[in-house]
């Protein structure tokens, strides 16, 4: 494992016992990150541009049936299968543990998307429109990705950057809870918790020690920075 050179290792905890599947996080992410509006046709082709999706699983059959929700976003793997396959290093790892994507470097081979076991990378197969005056909503902090470019969840890196600037201006580290991605910020049930895994006292680090913890497709050895907490307690179906 590489040496830790930054005081931050950003990570997230998704508490499945809290998540209600409401979808607020999906819209928050789309709004924050200039994620394209996709019509029916595009989604039918499996080309929805959402960076964050809620997987819904039916378990069992009527009347002993349950529905489960699983928010899936880029897992920011420490051993990310998407990174080494990019011929132009558009998919890279930053010292804070983020798996980044350099849009102006991406040449659209889509190797990274094919290699991602979580299917969280989305490709601009089309050039997307924001009919006027809808384009006013576009955030100036984020580039609008053109056709032919791969994109995905960044943990709202623009917010992280700003928080780091603020903190270093005051000669300190970013405080726990000071920065949150848009999804975690809006989640009504507080199912999403973001923070610095390198700080053992942070809320994420404490939650990660829960016995309910697991990671998606752990056996692949990708070492995701996103941890899930199992729904728990007495259960009747």
Instruction: Return residues touching ligand SF4 (CB under 6 A).
Output: 19-25, 54, 71, 187, 189, 191-192
* Least distance (Å) between residue 200 CB and another protein: 19
> Which partner, another protein, ligand SF4, none, binds residue 65 by CB below 5 to 8 Å per kind?
another protein
Residue with Cβ nearer ligand SF4 (112 or 192): 192
> Which partner, ligand SF4, another protein, none, binds residue 71 by CB below 5 to 8 Å per kind?
ligand SF4
Residue with Cβ nearer ligand SF4 (156 or 187): 187
CB 193 within 8 A of CB 207: yes
Question: What are the start-end ranges of the E strands in 25-89?
Answer: 53-59, 66-72
**Angle at Cα 191 formed by Cα 185 and Cα 194, nearest 5°?**
55
> Which partner, ligand SF4, another protein, none, binds residue 209 by CB below 5 to 8 Å per kind?
none
* Least distance (Å) between residue 37 CB and another protein: 5
CB atoms within 10 A of CB 93: 17
Residue 212 to residue 208: CA distance in whole angstroms: 9
The continuous run of DSSP H or E covering 112 comes out as helix 111-115
> Which partner, ligand SF4, another protein, none, binds residue 193 by CB below 5 to 8 Å per kind?
none
CB 16 within 8 A of CB 69: yes
* Least distance (Å) between residue 171 CB and another protein: 19
Smallest Cα–Cα separation from 145: which of 175, 101, 181, 187? Answer: 101
> Which partner, ligand SF4, another protein, none, binds residue 192 by CB below 5 to 8 Å per kind?
ligand SF4
* Least distance (Å) between residue 132 CB and ligand SF4: 26
* Least distance (Å) between residue 172 CB and another protein: 19
Beta bridge partners of 229: 15, 213
């Amino acid at each position: 494992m590489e040496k830790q050179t930054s005081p931050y290792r950003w990570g997230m905890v998704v508490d499945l016992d809290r998540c209600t599947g409401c979808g607020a996080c999906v819209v928050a992410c789309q709004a924050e990150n200039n994620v394209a509006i996709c019509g029916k046709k595009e989604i039918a082709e499996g080309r929805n541009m959402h960076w964050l999706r809620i997987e819904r699983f039916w378990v069992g059959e009527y009347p002993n049936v349950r529905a489960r929700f699983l928010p899936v976003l880029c897992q920011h793997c420490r051993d990310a299968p998407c990174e080494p396959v990019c011929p132009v290093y558009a998919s890279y790892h930053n010292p804070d543990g983020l798996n980044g994507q350099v849009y102006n470097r991406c040449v659209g081979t889509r190797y990274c998307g094919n290699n991602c076991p979580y299917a969280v990378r989305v490709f601009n197969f089309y050039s997307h429109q924001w009919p006027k005056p809808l384009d006013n909503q576009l955030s100036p902090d984020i580039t609008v990705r053109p056709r032919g470019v791969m994109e995905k969840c960044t943990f709202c890196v623009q917010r992280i950057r700003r928080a780091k600037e603020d903190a270093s201006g005051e000669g300190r580290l970013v405080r726990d809870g000071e920065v949150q991605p848009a999804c975690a910020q809006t989640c009504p049930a507080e199912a999403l918790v973001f923070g610095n895994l390198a700080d053992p006292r942070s809320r994420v680090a404490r939650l990660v020690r829960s016995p309910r913890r697991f990671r998606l497709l752990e056996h692949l050895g990708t070492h995701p920075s996103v941890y899930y907490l199992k729904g728990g307690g007495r259960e009747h179906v």
